[in-house]
Amino acid sequence: MQVCETLLSFIYPLKWRCTYIPYLPSSLTETLNACGAFIVGMNTKDKNNVYKHIDLYDKIIIDIDSDSIESNENL
């Protein structure tokens, strides 16, 4: 949760007006298929579950634990 809060502080003085979920349980992973911009925090152990349920076409995944950023090459 603190990582998402830190990310939001980087855009200060602007305010994030889109969907913000500090921690999304693995049972709700399919929520990531929703339209629109959003910032979502998840546990790293759920990363493989994310790949099974969502299309990365228009999403960027930032993994703080492995120091990696993944996205579709067309972004």
pLDDT, tens digit, for every residue of 51-63? 887 877 888 888 8
Most confident of 19-28, 41-50, 63-72: 19-28
Q: Which neighbouring-strand residues pair with 17?
A: none
Predicted pLDDT at 55: 79
Predicted pLDDT at 20: 93
pTM for the whole structure? 0.76
Predicted pLDDT at 1: 64
Query: Is omega for the bond preceding 22 within 30 degrees of 0, making it cis?
Result: no
Q: What single-letter amino acid sits at 34?
A: A
Average pLDDT, whole number, for the chain?
Answer: 86
pLDDT, greater one: 51 or 6: 6
